[in-house]
Amino acid sequence: KPDDPPTNLVMTGFYTFSPAIFHATRLVQPSDRGEYELSDAIDLLIQSGRTIDAVELEGWRIDVGYPEDRAEAERRLRNAEEEAASHV
């Protein structure tokens, strides 16, 4: 990950695909790491003329790869729950 990213947009990893993705995944070759990359299947769909739509989500996002990040996410969720409950 870059230290100074050019944007604050991220790929959250939530996808919805048409059935065409299954054909594309069968055409993907293993990467240099020996893995089948979903991004390669997406690239094949784009090359075949398919379109991709993106949705920009509002709000906060935390990468929960570390325990302290999970603790912060839990804190924010508790605060959001408390705020929502106070408006009921």
pLDDT tens per residue across span 8-64 = 787 777 889 999 999 999 999 999 999 999 999 999 999 999 998 888 888 888 888
Asked whether 57 and 12 are in contact (CB, 8 A), the reply is yes
Does residue 41 sit in the same domain as residue 22?
Answer: yes
From CA 2, how far away is CA 21, in angstroms rounded?
29
Does residue 29 sit in the same domain as residue 42?
Answer: yes
| Domain extent for 44 | 15-55
From CA 20, how far away is CA 31, in angstroms rounded?
21
Residue 10 lies in a domain: no
Among left, alpha and beta (phi > 0; psi -120 to 50; other), residue 33 is: alpha
Q: What is the pTM of this model?
A: 0.61
Six token digits for residue 47: 């090359």
